Amino acid sequence: MESLYVKRILNEVAEKNSGEKEFVRAVEEVLSSLDGVIQLNPKFEQSAILERIVEPERVVIFRVPWQDDNGNFRVNRGFRVQFNSAIGPYKGGIRLHPSVNLGILKFLAFEQVFKNSLTTLPIGGGKGGCDFDPHGKSDGEVMRFCQSFMTELFRHIGPDTDVPAGDIGTGAREIGFMFGQYKRLSNEFTGVLTGKGLTYGGSLIRPEATGYGLVYFSEQMLNVKNDSLEGKRCLISGSGNVAQFCAEKLIQMGAVPVTMSDSSGFIYDKEGITEEKSAFIKELKNVRRGRISEYVKEYKNAVFTANKRPWGVKADCAFPCATQNELDENDAADLIKNGLILVAEGANMPSTHGAISAFKKAGVLFAPGKAANAGGVATSALEMSQNSMRLSWTRDEVDEKLKSIMERIHENTLNAAREYGQEGDYIAGANIAGFLKVANAMMAQGLV
């Protein structure tokens, strides 16, 4: 039962943000976990914590003009949503995708607030992006776009203010161009972005961190049930940063990834994606910027299915690592029928509300993105620490820290769920634990 306070806020959010369906859903999901917390702590209602936590501290929207290779003038819309800085500088990625709009970025920034709180590190929540489509653009076009984007963004960010990073469409290349332009404009070499190249302030393991962390978290979930990833057949969607390193770590753990995808369809390799095949995918996607269908030209026993997602393939575990709302209730029904035991979200909100209800009902272990994919931003925070100290930790040092952060998130999530009577519910646990730290910090800082 939702408390009257939670109900009122949900109604207000739905009314005030009616065009922003992803944002409204993200708020509903978090707030509907908070009844017990709200009832036990009347101070939150007295201090209007929910009213404040659903409103971004600041949103910047700006014009991004750039010139394509044919000399045409092009204009895109850029955004930065600075959602909550109660526990640290705003922190979150930059998404470059034609679907980007304010509602999607508000949902991502809102999720980021709780995710970043869960990492146990001092980072607030933000997200940015642009409706620019990097597909098919030359390096020169991407550079000119990134420089123009940063020419406006640089006024609003800073190493102690707001520290952007990668997300869909923003990888090492784009971060490099943005960093170069920031440095030129500000005349400062600072840790203003994370996911930087190793020669200019990047951290070892940051590229791997989201995917690796996702797999560490999943192994801990299975360990609670006296099980492990060893020998498990796994479905992965996406073939970008998160998907690639999810596959790599699964292979290292003795699991067998059998699918990967991109926006054109998915490949199914029943013999399993091996280390060699995973290296092929990295080269295909990161260097040649090709399509996943090319995998079946190289590995003849694999099959490519156009315009479909991989959820119809029989497997033990599913790792949606592409985008929001990519796994719906019909997909969930197929997965459950095929004997699925675990879903861990590498992407942000990839499972629809209907899919999550179906997994819950069927007793499938389910890890929401804000817990399971938090290793990426956690390692970004480790990059910020290294930049501040002007030193670099070794690969093993960062990986060990990432592992122990994922363990802590897992434990804190389960503990919060147990404490509020929702034993074993990773969604409730993540929302409660993430919320409490931010809400208490907001309480302590007065009405701001």
- Residues in the site for ligand NDP, rule: CB under 6 A? 166-169, 171, 210, 238-243, 262-264, 321-323, 346-348, 373, 376
How far apart are CB 442 and ligand 2IT at their closest, in Å?
Answer: 21
**Residue at shortest CB range from ligand 2IT:** 93
Q: Which does 88 bind (CB under 5 to 8 A by kind): ligand NDP, ligand 2IT, none?
A: none
How far apart are CB 206 and ligand 2IT at their closest, in Å?
Answer: 8
| 254 and 230 Cβ atoms separated by less than 8 Å | yes
* Strand, helix or coil for residue 363: coil
What DSSP designation does 286 have? I
Q: How far is CA 171 from CA 237, 248, 412, in A?
A: 18, 18, 30
Residue 188: both structure tokens together? 């400062």
How far apart are CB 326 and ligand NDP at their closest, in Å?
Answer: 6
How far apart are CB 419 and ligand 2IT at their closest, in Å?
Answer: 26
**Residue at shortest CB range from ligand NDP:** 240
Q: Which does 242 bind (CB under 5 to 8 A by kind): ligand NDP, ligand 2IT, none?
A: ligand NDP
Q: Which does 91 bind (CB under 5 to 8 A by kind): ligand NDP, ligand 2IT, none?
A: ligand 2IT
Q: Which is nearer to ligand NDP, 185 or 296 (CB)?
A: 296
Instruction: Give the rounded distance of the alpha carbon of 431 from its chain centre.
Output: 15
| 189 and 158 Cβ atoms separated by less than 8 Å | no
Q: Which does 262 bind (CB under 5 to 8 A by kind): ligand NDP, ligand 2IT, none?
A: ligand NDP
Q: Which is nearer to ligand NDP, 49 or 344 (CB)?
A: 344
What DSSP designation does 326 have? -
Q: Which does 347 bind (CB under 5 to 8 A by kind): ligand 2IT, ligand NDP, none?
A: ligand NDP
Q: In whole angstroms, what is the distance from residue 443 CA to residue 439 CA?
A: 6
What is the amino acid identity at position 253? M
Q: Which is nearer to ligand NDP, 203 or 210 (CB)?
A: 210
| 193 and 380 Cβ atoms separated by less than 8 Å | no
Catalytic choice (127, 137, 232, 249):
127
Residues 6+ apart with CB under 8 A from 171: 195, 240, 241, 286
Sign of CA dihedral 181, 186, 188, 191: negative
Q: Which is nearer to ligand NDP, 143 or 243 (CB)?
A: 243
Q: Which is nearer to ligand 2IT, 115 or 144 (CB)?
A: 115
Q: Which is nearer to ligand NDP, 37 or 327 (CB)?
A: 327
Sign of CA dihedral 330, 333, 337, 340: positive
Q: Which does 240 bind (CB under 5 to 8 A by kind): ligand 2IT, ligand NDP, none?
A: ligand NDP
Q: Which does 96 bind (CB under 5 to 8 A by kind): ligand NDP, ligand 2IT, none?
A: none
* Strand, helix or coil for residue 273: coil
How far apart are CB 393 and ligand 2IT at their closest, in Å?
Answer: 17
Reported in sequence order, the residue ranges of 135-255 that DSSP labels E, i.e. its strands, are: 162-165, 233-237
How far apart are CB 209 and ligand 2IT at their closest, in Å?
Answer: 8
How far apart are CB 112 and ligand 2IT at their closest, in Å?
Answer: 6
Q: By C-alpha distance, which of 361, 309, 372 is closest to 336?
A: 361
| 410 and 427 Cβ atoms separated by less than 8 Å | no
Q: Which does 92 bind (CB under 5 to 8 A by kind): ligand NDP, ligand 2IT, none?
A: ligand 2IT
Radius of gyration of the chain (CA): 21
Residue 127 falls in the annotated catalytic set:
yes
Q: Which is nearer to ligand NDP, 151 or 431 (CB)?
A: 431
Residue 176: both structure tokens together? 């490099």
Instruction: Give the rounded distance of the alpha carbon of 371 from its chain centre.
Output: 9
How far apart are CB 407 and ligand 2IT at their closest, in Å?
Answer: 18
Residues forming contacts to ligand 2IT in the complex (CB under 6 A) are: 91-93, 112, 115, 165, 167, 194, 348, 376-377, 380
DSSP letters for 73-142: EEEEEEEEEEEE-SSSSEEEEEEE-TT--HHHHHHHHHHHHHHHHHTTSS--EEEEEES---TT--HHHH
Q: Which is nearer to ligand NDP, 147 or 239 (CB)?
A: 239
CB atoms within 10 A of CB 32: 15
Which residues are tagged catalytic?
127
